[in-house]
Chains A and B, each alone.
Chain A
């Protein structure tokens, strides 16, 4: 059985900096995989390579066994990969509802206008944004915008959802709610999630497997428990923290 997502020997250089070097890993359908690493380790770059924002210098990205690397971002989205940005980028001049609608209409679901309203409501409920539906995205708090970022990604009907530090900057209470929300979304939709998070406890609760990056290279992978005991990981990452 082929994995949902397979990243094979992927590399990306920016001038003299090699942001991602020969990284390989896979995500099975319905699985939650964590991606860890210190700041600058190459996690966001990896997301950009998978979502099509950048083309890799070498290596392949396979979705259902088909190569997608180098395709335009909107094509990759329509094949079922949704993502959030570490630095949130909702459409500030659109209402919360419109932000969600964009994902529904143009994403992998390609939903027509027929039951648009109902689907918008579903996603708004799911992400706890229903009471803010009519507000412009620019008026939301950071926590609200992070949730909207998630809602918009969900609206594209992804089979693989990539979350880039959706809990960073939130208060512990907000982060706790976000964690519950992710768990319930995963339970309900059964989608695969690739999640970048610094919060170790959250990673332990969410992920069945963790991939660790260091200076662009993969230095380990395994269950969260195994990873926290891996000497290489401890030396490179946990030890440094």
Chain B
């Protein structure tokens, strides 16, 4: 039974890691307080749903489709909206507060737009529904596919950031935007890439959720909360921190509630969140700002 719980925690942990990673890219790199992130996840979930049910795309490819669509939307939004906000901001604080308002507006528009376009009722499809046995633990195929898809995405993102030239540029940018610019990094180009990756990953995560659960215009809120909790745990701009934080939250949610009781879920998650805020505001894995 413990293995069953751990496997369940791995499934949600991998998903949470992708969501937190994507949010951390947007927030950590550009300091855009993306409170519409849950809605970007939702848009990806619908993209995945329609790709699968209307166009008959295999769900695994639909994940990539959702990534591409959302990434493109992120790019367009950057050019059209975010670039101006970033340019006009006088300080990090003012950028955060302006972007908070802008993203709040976006979240309302996306949620209501989706409700108008697709209706408010949940939609679901059934794929990879066979039960798979992994060393004595039974798991539905779609959850296994979802986990594998998330692990792949996380590894791909981490390798990209650890090894590639542009990954290095974005890490430098996260550390210090001005210094990145004066050593020759085209910050605009790096921000564009970040938007494609960040919003694309949010869409990817949404399509992954659609593999397992019904999708609806209102599904986003819970993932936004989880995303921010994990970012605080793992540290703003700390990509590996987001991955570890995601798994930690999933363990609290699954194994923690098994040890205490289902009603302790929120206490465990938000209690940890507040404890970290009080004791280690730079995140569990963050070091004091240098």
Contact = CB atoms under 8 A, between A and B. Distances in A.
A98 B185 CA distance: 14
A91 B179 contact: yes
A83 interface: yes
A84 B174 CA distance: 19
A177 interface: no
Nearest to B289: A92
Interface string B231-242: 000000110000
Given A91-B172, A93-B237, A94-B171, A107 B184 contact: yes
Given A101-B168, A102-B168, A113-B165, A89 B184 contact: no
Interface in A51-101: 51-53, 72-74, 77-78, 82-83, 85, 89-94, 98, 101
A105 interface: yes
Interface string B159-172: 00000010011011
Nearest to A85: B179
8 contacts: A53-B182, A74-B184, A78-B184, A85-B179, A90-B176, A91-B180, A102-B172, A106-B186
Contacts, number: 87
- Secondary structure type dominating chain B contacts: helix
Chain A CB within 10 Å — which of B168, B169, B171, B183 has the most?
B183
Interface in A90-126: 90-94, 98, 101-103, 105-108, 113
B286 to A, nearest CB: 9
Q: How large is the interface on A (under 10, 10 to 19, 20 to 34, 35 or more residues)?
A: 20 to 34
Interface of A: 51-53, 72-74, 77-78, 82-83, 85, 89-94, 98, 101-103, 105-108, 113, 137-138, 145, 152-153, 155-156
Q: Top 10 nearest A-B pairs by Cβ distance?
A: A138-B290, A106-B184, A92-B290, A91-B175, A73-B181, A89-B179, A77-B184, A107-B184, A103-B183, A91-B172
Contacts of B168: 94, 98, 101-102, 105
B178 A89 contact: yes
Contact of B182 (A83, A93, A101): A83
Contacts of B178: 53, 73, 85, 89
Interface of B: 165, 168-169, 171-172, 174-176, 178-188, 237-238, 287, 289-290
Given A92-B290, A93-B175, A107-B183, 17 more contacts: A52-B181, A53-B182, A72-B188, A74-B185, A74-B187, A82-B182, A83-B182, A89-B178, A91-B171, A91-B176, A93-B174, A93-B238, A101-B168, A102-B183, A105-B169, A106-B169, A107-B184
A226 to B, nearest CB: 32
A85 B185 CA distance: 16
B287 to A, nearest CB: 6
B182 A105 contact: no
A24 to B, nearest CB: 23
Contacts of B179: 85, 89-91
B88 to A, nearest CB: 15
A88 B183 CA distance: 13
A74 B171 contact: no
B237 A156 contact: no
A220 to B, nearest CB: 29
B181 A74 contact: yes
